[in-house]
Structures are given as structure tokens and as C-alpha cells.
Amino acid sequence: MASAAPPDTARFGSSGSVGATLFHAACFGAATLLLVTLGGVVISLAIGGWPAIEHFGFGFLTSSEWNPVTEVYGAAGPIVGTLVTAALALAMALPLAIGVAVFLVEFCPRSIARPIAIAVELLAGIPSIVYGMWGLFVLAPWFAEHVQLPLIMEAEPGSWQEKIFSGVPNGANIFTASVILAIMILPYMAAVFRELFMTVPAQLREAAYGLGCTPFEVIRSVVIPYVRRGMVGVIMLGLGRALGETMAVTFIIGNAHGFPDSIFASGSTIASTIANEFAEATSDMHSAALVALGLVLFLITFGVLAIARALLGGQRY
């Protein structure tokens, strides 16, 4: 018996070496299936979207005319809508998420911090359709009445305010969609930031306090620099969520094609366009154009997520 063999090459025993090989093969097959799935997503989107890519060429990305009647499809409107809503949502959610995480880790009494942290983590798991419904039935009407109308009323004709705030005052627009997205990614980002801040060794903090730093200085000069890489990774993860989110946005963005001309105008994102039109696509070119949109979304999110994972390295959230 090879009693000194290292464990990972050991194949002792008679408990069915055929079975053992089969089991190993099944595990390997399952791991490979994950790769095949991801590869299959890219390939099927590329094949399904090819007619549209071939027909419209690069103009598919730059034209903003999307017209199923005349069979002209340009994706600039949804692409810009996707990027703008995700960026706005991130701008709103990021300071809040960092604030929540810092408060919970550094300032909040332990006895309250734990329940709040658990609540925040649980809320991160609520399905997006719930956020979307709240946006549609609660946020949009409130926003139209208390924010949008007053702003439009006050804007002087011809002024820059008029241009930025113009739009149908029904509360379904790019700005409210961003607010919903922000509320949705906020608990997720706060929970991950909190875990990240807790990885900072206590000695570092104590050393800084020992030098006479205030809590603010400790966080700014010790805690945040220590986890900077991870923070960028988390921001990218949040951005990835916001870019690909479908239901929360579809409810409230107004689903207008074309280039949005103000942040209070109705718009669309790639995901909302696909969700709205795909099941009822009128022609082959229409569905090909939608699949090509999906490919664009995949490439954008894949890039963002790959950067996030690379930055987060071994840490996994």
C-alpha cells in the first residue's frame, strides 16, 4: 500500500474505482456545463442577432430611429438610456451605501447595528418586480405632482431649466427609473461595503486612533485606502446590476423609443425594450434587432463584471 502517497493522488480502496472515476467525471462535467452555458449565451445572441448586425452595420449602435413599421432599427436610444439610468442610479446610491456601511461599522451601537445590517441584507434579496411596482404606483404619481409639475411651472420659457425638465408630467421617466434603480442596488452595495470595511484589521484602526486621528480621519486615511481596490470592485458590481436590471425599470421608464431629450423625458433601456417587445416582435428583423440589443447589453455587463471580479480578486460577494 502506498501509505505515503499525498492525498490528492491517492486512489486507495476497492470501493469501486469505476464509480470513483464516474463521480469525478460527473463533477468535471457539471463544472464544464457552467462554461458551456456562458459560452452558449454569447454564441446564441450573436447568431440570433446577426441578421440585424449585418443589415444595419455600425449604424445599429449610432442611429436612434427604432421603427418596427418601416423595419428600421437603431439602438442608440436604449443604449444611452441604459448607460444614463445606471450612471445616475450609481451616483445616487454610492454615497448613501458608503454612508450606511460606515455608520454601521464605525458609529452605530452594536446592539442596533446588527439588526439593521441583517435587514439591509434581506432587503437586497427582494425581487426587483416589487421595487418596480412601488415605483409605478407610489413614486411616479408622487414625483409627478410634487417635483415635476412645480419645476416645469417655474422654468422660464427658453431657459436651460425648461430644456432639462421638459417632459410629460406623469412621473414615468429616466430620472424616476434611476431613483428606483438606486433604491434597489443600495441595500446590496451597503451590505457588501459593510463586509469589506470589516476586513480592515483592528490594529490599523487602533494605530491611527493612537496617533490621535478623529474617526473621520481614520476612515478617510486608513480604512478606505486599505479597501480601495475592493471598493471599486463593489461599485462595478452595483453598476452591473443597474445596467442589466429589467423589471424595476420597465415599469417606470415610460418605454419611449428614440433619444431621450431630457432626464425627465420618457426613455427606454436595452433590458426594458427587450422585455416589452420580444414576445410580440412583428417580424424576423424585429426580433433579430432585439437579440442584437441583448448582445450589446451582454458585452457591456460582461466587461463591467469582469473588471469587478478581477479587482475583487479572491474576495467573493
Partner 1 sequence: MDRALVRRLSNITFIILTGIATLIALTALVLILWSLLSKGIGGIDSKIFTMTQPAPGSEGGLSNAIMGSLIMCGIGLSIAVVVGVLAGTWLSEYGGNTPYGHVVRFLNDVLLSAPSILIGLFVYEILVRPFHGFSAWAGGIALAILAMPIVTRTTEDILSLQPSALREAGMALGASRAFVIRNVVWKSARAGLVTGALLGFARISGETAPLLFTALGNQFFSTELTQPMASLPTTIFQFALSAYDDWQRLAWVGALLIAVAVLSVNIIGRILAREARRS
Measured between alpha carbons, how far is 17 from 253 in angstroms, rounded to an integer?
59
Residue 40 interacts with partner 1 (CB under 8 A): yes or no: yes
Nearest to 119 by CA among 196, 200, 45, 186: 186
Nearer to partner 1, 38 or 91 (CB): 38
Single residue of 4, 37, 58, 210 touching partner 1 by CB under 8 A: 37
Residue 294 interacts with partner 1 (CB under 8 A): yes or no: yes
Single residue of 80, 84, 173, 241 touching partner 1 by CB under 8 A: 241
The sign of the dihedral angle between the CA atoms of 248, 254, 258, 260 is negative
Q: Which window, 33-41, 154-162, 163-171, 202-210, contacts partner 1 (CB under 8 A)?
A: 33-41
- How far CA 131 is from CA of 141, 250, 252, in Å, comes to 15, 11, 10
Nearest to 190 by CA among 255, 253, 119: 119
Least Å from the CB of residue 151 to partner 1: 21
For 286, residues 6+ apart whose C-beta sits below 8 A from its C-beta are: 68, 71, 73, 277
Nearer to partner 1, 50 or 155 (CB): 50
Q: Which window, 40-48, 70-78, 162-170, 196-204, contacts partner 1 (CB under 8 A)?
A: 40-48
Q: Which window, 83-91, 164-172, 259-267, 294-302, contacts partner 1 (CB under 8 A)?
A: 294-302
Q: Residues 191-210 vs partner 1: string with x where CB under 8 A?
A: --------------------
Residues in 103-162 at the binding interface with partner 1, rule: CB under 8 A: 103-104, 106-108, 116, 118-120, 122-123, 125-134, 136-138
Per the CB < 8 A criterion, the answer to whether 288 and 94 are in contact is no
Nearer to partner 1, 75 or 274 (CB): 274
Q: Which window, 9-17, 161-169, 203-211, 222-230, contacts partner 1 (CB under 8 A)?
A: 9-17
Nearer to partner 1, 80 or 300 (CB): 300
Residue 38 interacts with partner 1 (CB under 8 A): yes or no: yes
> Would you call 209 helix, strand, or coil by DSSP?
helix
Residue 27 interacts with partner 1 (CB under 8 A): yes or no: yes
Residue 34 interacts with partner 1 (CB under 8 A): yes or no: yes
Measured between alpha carbons, how far is 265 from 252 in angstroms, rounded to an integer?
11
Measured between alpha carbons, how far is 193 from 200 in angstroms, rounded to an integer?
11
Measured between alpha carbons, how far is 204 from 102 in angstroms, rounded to an integer?
16
Least Å from the CB of residue 8 to partner 1: 8
Single residue of 185, 274, 289, 311 touching partner 1 by CB under 8 A: 274
Nearest to 262 by CA among 174, 156, 143: 174
For residue 175 the three cell numbers come to 430620472
Instruction: Give 259-275 as a DSSP string.
Output: ---STTS-B--HHHHHH
Please give the distance of CA 168 from its chain centroid, rounded to a whole number. 27
Residue 215 interacts with partner 1 (CB under 8 A): yes or no: yes
Other residues' Cβ atoms within 10 Å of the Cβ of residue 256: 19
Least Å from the CB of residue 316 to partner 1: 7
Residue 53 interacts with partner 1 (CB under 8 A): yes or no: no
